[in-house]
Structure 1
Amino acid sequence: MRKLVYYVAVTLDGFIAAEDGTFDGFVFEGDHMAGINAVYPDTVPTQFREAVGLQDAPNPNFDTVLMGRNTYQVPGGLASPYAHLRQFVVSSSVTDTPPDVEVINSDVTGRVAALKQEDGLDIWLCGGGKLAADLLPQIDKLLLKIHPVVFGRGIPLFDGKADITKFRRTDAQLFESGVSFLTYEREND
């Protein structure tokens, strides 16, 4: 069975974006970029893959990406940001997407459960604090790029009511840029 993996950048105080949905305070240069991109090239937006030398890189981890509306409609965003993956946007208001971006507007948990049953690589939950809170019971793994910045307020990593869920750290990488890359797996109940 495929795993649902919440892979996201986060501040020291637990925010994935500022209140307006921007993430300008994150560190976009440094040794962490090459180090993480080498292992997770599938998470680099399609239009930037060539610029960072990943245009021919295979997708070793993910073949599907799941985004909340705000993640998909980030200011300056692309209509098909991850064309090298199967793309889903969870929204009741987004209707105008290209053919390679499918909108899920009802029974999100059922649809994600069905996606997990399909053959293929893992499913990347790209963002959306509210979506992550709703899908927490189905999240199998967390990949957190913790940036050395405090926003003070913004969109939390999990934005909403969620039951206590335990994960165990399975890997940690520290970079000179100050970014920490932590991997957590869901503990067996």
Structure 2
Amino acid sequence: MRKLVYYVAVTLDGYIAAEDGTFDGFVFEGDHMEGINAVYADTLPTQFREALGLQDAPNRNFDTVLMGRNTYQIPGGLASPYAHLRQFVVTSQALDTPDDVELIGEDVLGRVRSLKAEDGLDIWLCGGGKLAGELLPEIDKLLLKIHPVVFGRGIPLFDGKADITKFQRTAAQLFESGVSFMTYERP
């Protein structure tokens, strides 16, 4: 069975983006970029993979990406940001999307459960906080790029009402840039 993996950058105070949905405060230079991207190149937008000469690299971790409408519609975003993955956007609003981006408008938990039951690589939940809060019962693993910055306010890692859920740290990697890469899994 595939896992639902919430892989996201987060601030020290638990935000995945500023209030306006941007993430300019995160550290985009340093040894963590090469180190993490070498393992998780399948999470790079398709245009960046092409710029790095990775367009033909096989996906090693994920073959499916799940995102909320706000994550999909970030300022300057692409119509098909992860064309090398099967793309799903969770939204109750009608969106004009290309054929390779599928909308999920209802029974999100049921749809995620059916995706997890399919054969394939894991499913990447790339945001946002409200969707992560809703899908917490189905999240099997957290991959957190913890950046040495405080936003003070913004979009939380998990937004909304959620039950207490325990995870166990299974890996930790520290970088000179100050970014920590932490892996947590359900016990």
Quick one: distance in 2 between partners of 1:26 and 1:13?
12
Correspondence for 1:6: 6
TM-score by length of 2: 0.98
Quick one: distance in 2 between partners of 1:136 and 1:70?
18
Correspondence for 1:162: 162
TM-score by length of 1: 0.97
* 1:6-56 deviation per Cα after TM superposition (whole angstroms, max 9, x unaligned): 000000000000000000000111110110011111000000012234222
Q: In structure 1, what residue type is equivalent to 2:37?
A: N
Q: Which segments of structure 1 move beyond 6 Å, counting only runs of 4 or more?
A: none
Correspondence for 1:145: 145
Correspondence for 1:128: 128
CA drift of 1:57 comes to 1.7
Correspondence for 1:79: 79
Q: Report the CA distance shift for 1:25/1:94 in structure 2 as closer, same or farther (over 3 A).
A: farther
Quick one: distance in 2 between partners of 1:57 and 1:32?
20
Correspondence for 2:113: 113
CA drift of 1:95 comes to 2.0
* 1:117-156 deviation per Cα after TM superposition (whole angstroms, max 9, x unaligned): 0000000001110000000000000000000100000000
**Total equivalences in the alignment:** 187
CA drift of 1:84 comes to 0.1
CA drift of 1:93 comes to 1.1
Is 2:15 the partner of 1:23? Answer: no
Which secondary structure does the structure 2 equivalent of 1:34 belong to?
helix
Quick one: distance in 1 between partners of 2:68 and 2:179?
24
- Counterpart mapping for 1:29-108 below 5 A: 29-108=29-108
Query: Kindly, what percent of the aligned residue pairs are identical?
Result: 86
Quick one: distance in 2 between partners of 1:52 and 1:36?
14
Quick one: distance in 2 between partners of 1:177 and 1:139?
28
Quick one: distance in 2 between partners of 1:53 and 1:29?
19
CA drift of 1:58 comes to 1.1
Which secondary structure does the structure 2 equivalent of 1:50 belong to?
helix
Which secondary structure does the structure 1 equivalent of 2:51 belong to?
coil
Structure 2: 5+ residue stretches without partners? none
Any conservation in 2 of the 1:41–1:58 contact (CA below 8 Å)?
A: no
Quick one: distance in 2 between partners of 1:76 and 1:170?
35
Structure 1: 5+ residue stretches without partners? none
Quick one: distance in 1 between partners of 2:94 and 2:51?
29
Correspondence for 1:185: 185
Which secondary structure does the structure 2 equivalent of 1:145 belong to?
strand
